[in-house]
Amino acid sequence: MARPSPRAAGETAIPLRFGDDALLWASWLYHEEGMTQGDIAAEMGVSRASVNTYLAEARARGLVTIEIEPRQFRALSLAEALRKRFDLEDCLVVPTNGGERSLNARLGAAGAQALARYARPGDTLAVTWGRTILALVEALRVAPLGDVRVVQATGGTTAKIPWTPEACASRLAEALGGRCIPLSAPAIVSSAAMRDMLFAEPVLAEQMAVLSEANRILFGISSLRPESTIHTSGFLDGPERHDYEQVAIGSIAGRFISASGERVPGPLDGRTIGIDLAALRAVPQRIAVAGGSDKVPAILGALRGGFVSVLVTDTQTGWGILTADGWSEPPRRAAPSPPTSAPIGRTHTKKLLNDPRAAVDEALEGALAAHGDTIALVPGTPRAVRAVHGPRPGKVGVVIGGGSGHEPAFWGYVGPGLADAAVVGNLFAAPPPGPILAGTRAINGGAGVLYVFGNFSGDVMNFEMAAEELASDGIETRSVVTIDDIASAPAEAVGSRRGVAGNVFVFKIAGAAADRMMPLDACEAVTRRAAARTFSMGVALEPGTMPETRRPSFSLGPADMEIGVGVHGEPGVAREPLASADAVADLLVDRLFAEMRLEAGARIAVLVNSLGGTPAMELYVVHRRVAQRLAARRVEVVGAWVGPYYTSLDMAGVSLSFLHCDDELLDLLRHPCRSAAMTVVR
């Protein structure tokens, strides 16, 4: 017999992210996160009376004692799907949102529960380093274990960070009542010869021997984003960074892995002191504690490579991993058989193209033909355009760019009062250095050039390479990287976030500052401030389809929507049942409010952006609700843009961007401009 639901009569269904485990979710949010019953009711979309019933029933069933019983969380459908998909020994999934604690602290608390369950007297426990590992150590509460050895899995790193290998290992040993075995050497040494000499030293040889005896290893998984552990630890200083970032998507214990989980060789291999990937995979129990949507590719690579036997993560990351691996949630009940006469559904999308391989160049050619009064092709390259009127002597030049597929970005924001040039790459791919160099030289007015582009590794690398070459020519450049996508990384790793539709506001501010003849330092400062005060999030109803294959970039069910999608065809960080326009608007507004903490009287600019396949009617329905929510909070809307400003091919969906204005930003936002995609008249 099915268990009766404790929801009040007539109450709406709980959102999918809470599944059939409402008792566990309510218990976690109440006991672990310290949320009130009213806040939990709002988070879960139920009444306060239902929350009270959940908590009482959880206590009656013994789910809650001093802490939430970790074994019960393994029954979550998401955790079970991850466990089966990747043949894990165990999987623990905790809520991504809720309460004031950071995601790292939340994961650390969950990891501490998992470690407390598995750690035994006599263990030799290897441990890496990182924010989440240190948070785990700080949350660990266990009775002392006998004869436990805790050994560093790598040598030491820079002391500029608090989560060094030495700190994580020594504090974990103290928490377990065990003995700490350090590795008496740096993690990275100057040469392979130096590494061999150190390995020959008896002290280090003895410590490495203990490491080889580890029966458990506790580790985090790092992305390669700018604020990731692997960067802050000093591993990737210098030219080695480009050698790895071409192929690697993440790292474990300072070793780099590809999307398929294979070792990525590079110049640091012969200079690294610590456990290697083959030895890590051979450890009997391998406990990985990692989360955050920016880490989805890295965690998936670690799972595919067989480096994880116990995974501790959060819901959004878990869904992102499964979606990226092509997993589809099984139906809750068997669907009725379709009639035998039912027509065959379409498997491809119809496109108005000639040769798909020529689509980028032909689209740019069409843009130049349509908007010849504002843009012209930069001589010598088919992938860079410049403003017709320019360069202006003594004016800072503004160059923007990124991959194609986001039309009218980027050429649509070139013109008076906006960018001076735009460069585009292949579909969702960074422009190479050549067009960047040509575009920069074409608009250089002698006062320096400001680059504005999204936070994607290819764009960062190629714009940096162009800047290095231009410096030798005496052209000074500065770069502002946009980081507005709040779904792509948690608040504590804001520098790892992607740049999406909020780019439009940052382009506008940069162009206005340069048009007013502000010097390069001032243009950079105000543009950087605009980037820091711009926040975006998107929802997709249908994935985009690639021109060459005419197939969707990810799978999405007919009754589902994808939360937190990127603009390069990536799936989102969570999947929920298809909702009304008001519900989608509320979801986006609530996430942006939580991030920005807007007070009454704040001034914001609003962008309701089509991801490519959403018509104007639906966008204005969404904007209606956004305006209602902002008015209710007494936030002043100083400007609103509704339409396809920054797309992802033909993806059906919407993104919402807010720019939190101060006096200077508001003045620059209202500065006149004219381009194919944006015109502002004073």
Rounded to whole angstroms, how far apart are CA atoms 655 and 636? 20
Residue 678 CA: distances (Å) to CA of 644, 671, 674 = 11, 12, 6
DSSP 8-state code for residue 395: P
Rounded to whole angstroms, how far apart are CA atoms 129 and 164? 6
Rounded to whole angstroms, how far apart are CA atoms 128 and 323? 28
Rounded to whole angstroms, how far apart are CA atoms 276 and 309? 17
Rounded to whole angstroms, how far apart are CA atoms 608 and 236? 38
Q: Which of 406, 623, 660, 671 is catalytic?
A: 406
| All residues at 6 or more sequence positions from 422 whose CB lies less than 8 Å from its CB, including other chains | 384, 385, 399, 400, 401, 410, 411, 413, 414, 439
Give one DSSP letter per residue of 314-350, joined into a string. EHHHHHHHHHHTT--PPPSSPPPPPPTTPPPPP-S--
Rounded to whole angstroms, how far apart are CA atoms 459 and 429? 8
Which own/partner pairs from 377-382 qualify as long-range (CB within 8 Å, at least 24 positions apart)? Answer: 378/421, 378/435, 378/438, 378/439, 378/442, 379/438, 379/442, 380/438, 381/434, 381/435, 381/438, 381/439
Rounded to whole angstroms, how far apart are CA atoms 146 and 132? 25
| All residues at 6 or more sequence positions from 119 whose CB lies less than 8 Å from its CB, including other chains | 125, 142, 145, 148, 176, 216
Going by C-alpha positions, the residue among 307, 218, 222, 221 that lies closest to residue 260 is: 307
Cis ω before 410 (30° cut-off from 0): yes
The total of other beta-carbon atoms located within 10 Å of residue 62's CB is 9
Whether 568 is catalytic: yes
Going by C-alpha positions, the residue among 339, 374, 367, 323 that lies closest to residue 565 is: 323
Quote the distance between the C-alpha of residue 118 and its chain's center.
31
Burial of 569 (0-12, 13-18, 19+ CB in 10 A): buried
Residue linked to tokens 């995974």: 311
Q: Which of 31, 348, 371, 568 is catalytic?
A: 568
Active site residues: 406, 568
